[in-house]
Every structure is written in structure tokens, then in C-alpha cells.
Amino acid sequence: MKTRYWALLAALMVQVLYGLNYTFAKDVMVGGFIKPFGFIVIRVGAAVALFWMFSFLGPKEKIEKKDFLTLFYAAVFGVATNMLLFFKGLELTTPIHASVIMIISPIIVLILSSFYLGEKITRLKVLGVIFGFAGATILTVYGRSASPADNVFLGNIMILLNAISYSIYIIIVKKLTYKYHPFTFIRWLFLFGFFLVLPFGYNQIIAINIASFTPYIWFSVVFVVVGATFGTYLLNPLALRHLKASTVTVFIYLQPLIAGIYAVIVGSDAVTSVKLIASSLIFFGVYLVTKKPKVLHA
């Protein structure tokens, strides 16, 4: 039981880090400090260094040759396609729009899990998805962009495709979590991913003017790399190891809530009755999906 609680806490922390990531990453890109694809190369490259540097913390395991192909597919969907579409989409749309669109992931994972992982779709899970979707939808009503430079429609499409790619990644990596410790395979996942994203962001990397970085921009870049990349990709497999894939991804409903809370803290938004109702629906949806069914004894 304690293991399940730690897994749920890991899944929660992933969404907290992702929820804050929307604003920090957007500020770096909109300010013109780093372009989206260049930011991804930095993000993945730094994560590669961190995962290989701290790999000694995990057990000494050897990956089977057949699993390297699975790792490559996971890198295509979970690192390259996922991240490139996400950052480019985030540059064009708003953090709230992006965080809400991402809630489609649990729905996709729930469907894919039933086909490829044999997970049973219960009425309780379906009800939880409905409540979570309703709450996140209400929360995004106020999320229109005030910036004329944004292309919300195109950005939203990219975030949607990113959500689909991320859902496929969750299904692919689920089986690896049963066989290996996260440190064993994630370092290879990001190494493959780095070479996949490098051609897209190389020109944007060499165009970066580090001298223009403010302390806030430096903090934002470090947060994206250490928190929203190293931290999330380490915690997510730990959660997947002890929870169903559909349970882990339903925590994504918290992202719009976290984005809203952060906006209130920094003074760019205010609490309203609508947001409180939406937040309640999101929490209730997460509760329903993560609630274990009672076992009846004869």
C-alpha cells in the first residue's frame, strides 16, 4: 500500500513540474532568448548528461538487444516528436490552452491500454475521465491569448499532436518499466532522442546570445532542464512501475489547475467561482480514476 502512495506522489510531482513548465518555457521562447527547437536540443542534451552522470544511483542492469529497438521507438514518440511539437506549439499558443489540450492524453492512453496492455476500462474510470475533462474545459474558458504574435489555432493543433505522441510513448515505455530501473533505460532514451532532435535545432543553438540572459531566464532554463525534464522523466517511470498507464496519465488533468494557481501567485490572474468549480471537478476526476475497486470476500 505504501508503494502505491509513493507512486501516486511521483505521478503528482510530475504534473506539478509540467504545470509550472508551461510558463517558464513560454517566457524564454517569447522573449526571443532561445527558439523552440534550439531549446529542445539544450533540454535533451543536458538531460542526457544528467541521466548518464547519475546512472550509478540505479542498479547495474544490461539492456537486452531486442529492447534497443523499443527504446528507439520510445525516443521517437516520447522525446523527439513529443518535445518538438510541444515547444513549437507552446510558442504559438497560451500556457492555459496548451495545458488543457494535453488532457486528451488520458483518453488516448485509456483506449490504447485496453488494446495493447490488456487494461480493463471500468465505469469508474470512464466517469473520472468525463469529470476531469469537464473541469479542465471550464478552466480554459478564460485562456485566450492577448498577444497578437500568437497563432492559437496552429499552436493548439501542434499541442494536440504532441498529446497523441506522448500517449503512444506512455504505452511503449510501460513494458520497459517492468524489466528495468528508470536510470537503466532513460539514459538511452534521451541519447537516441538527442541525435533525433539535433538536426532540427542546431542552427537555433548557434544563434543564441547568452549575454542577453537575465537571472529569471537562467532560472527558467535550469527549471525546464532539471525539473521538467530530468525530474519528470525519472519520476514518471517510477509511477508507471506501480500504477496502470491510464491512472498515471489522468494526473495530467492537474496541469491546467497548477498553471492557474501559479498565475494567481505571480499576480497575473485571480480566483473566481468558475475556477473553483473547475478545480473541484478535476480533483474529483483524478480521485475516481485512481480509486482502487473494493475486493469482495466470500
Distance, CA of 217 to CA of 126 (rounded, Å): 41
Q: Which of 3-7, 260-264, 269-273 has the lowest mean pLDDT?
A: 269-273
Q: How many domains does the chain have?
A: 1
Q: Residue 298 domain-assigned?
A: no
Task: Kindly state the DSSP code that residue 225 receives in the 8-state scheme.
Answer: I
> In the prediction, which pLDDT does 261 show?
79
Here the cell at position 193 is 532522442
Cβ atoms within 10 Å, residue 296: 5
| Angle subtended at Cα 185 by Cα 179 and Cα 186, rounded to the nearest 5 degrees | 135
Q: Residue 149 domain-assigned?
A: yes
Q: Does 297 have pLDDT greater than 50? A: no
Tell me if 183 sits within 8 A of 55, measured CB to CB.
Answer: yes
Nearest in space to 252 (alpha carbons), one of 7, 10, 11: 11
Which residues form the domain of 241? 2-290
Q: Residue 203 domain-assigned?
A: yes
> In the prediction, which pLDDT does 149 show?
55
Distance, CA of 39 to CA of 202 (rounded, Å): 10
Model pLDDT for residues 187-210, shown as the tens digit of each residue = 999 999 999 999 999 999 999 999
Which residue carries 517569447 as its cell? 30
Taking the CA atoms of the chain, what radius of gyration do you get in angstroms?
19
Report DSSP letters for 257-273, one per residue. HHHHHHHHHTTS----H
- For residue 56, the one-letter residue type is F
Comparing 298 with 269, the larger pLDDT belongs to 269
Here the cell at position 119 is 487494461
- For residue 251, the one-letter residue type is F
Distance, CA of 247 to CA of 240 (rounded, Å): 9
| Angle subtended at Cα 218 by Cα 212 and Cα 223, rounded to the nearest 5 degrees | 150
Q: Residue 295 domain-assigned?
A: no
Q: The pTM is what?
A: 0.78
Q: Residue 296 domain-assigned?
A: no
Distance, CA of 2 to CA of 121 (rounded, Å): 25
Q: Residue 267 domain-assigned?
A: yes
Mean pLDDT of 39-64: 90
Q: Residue 238 domain-assigned?
A: yes
Q: Residue 13 domain-assigned?
A: yes
Q: Does 267 have pLDDT greater than 90? A: no
Task: Kindly state the DSSP code that residue 292 receives in the 8-state scheme.
Answer: P
> In the prediction, which pLDDT does 298 show?
41
> In the prediction, which pLDDT does 148 show?
53
> In the prediction, which pLDDT does 48 show?
94
The percent of residues in the chain predicted with pLDDT above 90, rounded, is: 31
Model pLDDT for residues 146-187, shown as the tens digit of each residue = 555 567 778 878 888 898 898 888 888 877 888 888 788 889
> In the prediction, which pLDDT does 296 show?
45
> In the prediction, which pLDDT does 150 show?
65
Distance, CA of 214 to CA of 187 (rounded, Å): 30
Distance, CA of 293 to CA of 60 (rounded, Å): 36
Cα separation of the two ends of the chain: 22
Mean pLDDT of 200-227: 94
Tell me if 189 sits within 8 A of 79, measured CB to CB.
Answer: yes
Q: Which of 59-63, 138-142, 161-165 has the lowest mean pLDDT?
A: 138-142
